[in-house]
Structure 1
Amino acid sequence: MLTSCYPVLATDDVAAARAFWTGPMRFEVTFEADWYVSLRREGCELAVLDRDHPTIPEAYRGVSATGVLVNLEVDDVDAEWERLAVPGGPAVTLELRDEDFGQRHFIVAGPDGVLVDVITEIPPSPEFAAAFAAPAPA
C-alpha cells in the first residue's frame, strides 16, 4: 500500500528554496535540517534537498531541479494572481489565462528553474471534454 508520494526538489540553495516555498507559496515547515526541508500546505507535501548531499547517488549530485513544473490547484486562482503578481513577488513567466483544456492558471518562477503553475479548474471546451476519463464508480 502506498502511504505517501511527494516531490523532493534538488537545490543549490536550501535556504532560498525554503524562503520561496514558505513565503509566497505559503507552505509550512514540517522538518528542517541545513541540507533538507520538508514542507506541507493543506495536505500537499514537497521537500527541498541540497543537491550535493551524500544521500543522493554520486553520479546525480550537483544537479538542481531545473525543468520541474509544480502544479498547485487552488479554489480561487484570481485571488492568488492578485496576491502573487505584484512587484517584489515571484517572477511571472505566464500571465493569468484560460485554457481550452480546462484550466485558468498562471505560472511563476521558483528557485533553481522550478516553475509553479497555479491553477483553478474550469470547464474544458467540448473538444477537450471528450478526452477526460469517466469518473470511477463510487
Structure 2
Amino acid sequence: MQLESAYPVIVTEAIGPCRDFYARHFGFDVVFESSWFIYLASKANPALAVAFMSPDHPSSPPGPERFNGQGMFFTLQVSDAAVEFQKVRQSGARIAYELRDEPWGQRRFGLVDPSGAWVDVVQQIEPAPGFWDPYMTSA
C-alpha cells in the first residue's frame, strides 16, 4: 500500500466551530470545505491534517456514527510545549489540563475541542529516572 495521506475524521454537528478552533489555536488552514465536510491541514506541515464531517453527510458508506467525545484523543506533538501553552492560553482557549511534566517523559497540556475530542499537546522530554523499568520486558 502506498499511502498519500492519513488523517482522522471526526463526525460532529460542530464542524464550523471545530474549523475555527483548529485554525485559531493551532494554525490549521482550511483545504476543503463543504456544508457537511471540512478538511484542515497544518500551515507548517500540510501532511498533518484533521477533518470534520456532519452526521447527516451524503456520502454512500454507512456510518460512521456521531463522535461522543470518548475513547479517542488527538495528539499534537510540538518542540516546546511551554511556548505553545502560552500561545494557546493567550488565544482565549479554555485549558482543561494545565501544563506539566509527566514522569513518563512528556511535557504536556490539554484542551477539549468543540466536538468533544481531547486535544493533547505534548513535547517529548526525559522521563523520571527508573520510571519505565517496571514496564520493560526482555526477550
Taking the aligned partners of 2:2 and 2:103, their CA distance within structure 1 comes to 33
Taking the aligned partners of 1:83 and 1:90, their CA distance within structure 2 comes to 9
Q: Which amino acid aligns with 1:57?
A: P
Aligned identity (percent) is 32
Instruction: Establish whether residue 48 from structure 1 lines up as the match of residue 49 from structure 2.
Output: no
Match among 71, 78, 88 for residue 75 of structure 2: 71
Taking the aligned partners of 1:11 and 1:65, their CA distance within structure 2 comes to 8
Structure 1 residues 119 and 132: CA distance shift in structure 2, 3 A: farther
Structure 1 residues 65 and 17: CA distance shift in structure 2, 3 A: farther
Structure 1 residues 30 and 98: CA distance shift in structure 2, 3 A: same
8 Å Cα contact 1:7/1:47 also seen in 2: yes
Structure 1 residues 9 and 102: CA distance shift in structure 2, 3 A: same
Taking the aligned partners of 1:132 and 1:29, their CA distance within structure 2 comes to 42
Instruction: Give the CA deviation at 1:32.
Output: 1.3
Match among 78, 98, 103 for residue 101 of structure 2: 98
Question: Paired residue for 2:119?
Answer: 116
Task: Tell me the matched-pair count.
Answer: 130
Question: Paired residue for 1:36?
Answer: 37
Instruction: Give the CA deviation at 1:128.
Output: 3.6
Q: Secondary structure at the match of 1:80?
A: helix
Moved beyond 3 Å, runs of 4+: 128-133
Q: Which amino acid aligns with 2:115?
A: D
Taking the aligned partners of 1:65 and 1:123, their CA distance within structure 2 comes to 34
Question: Paired residue for 1:16?
Answer: 17
Structure 1 residues 89 and 65: CA distance shift in structure 2, 3 A: farther
Instruction: Give the CA deviation at 1:2.
Output: 4.2
8 Å Cα contact 1:9/1:65 also seen in 2: no
Unaligned segments of structure 2, at least 5 residues? none
Q: Which amino acid aligns with 1:81?
A: F
Question: Paired residue for 1:6?
Answer: 7
TM-score norm. by structure 1 comes to 0.83
Taking the aligned partners of 1:2 and 1:17, their CA distance within structure 2 comes to 30
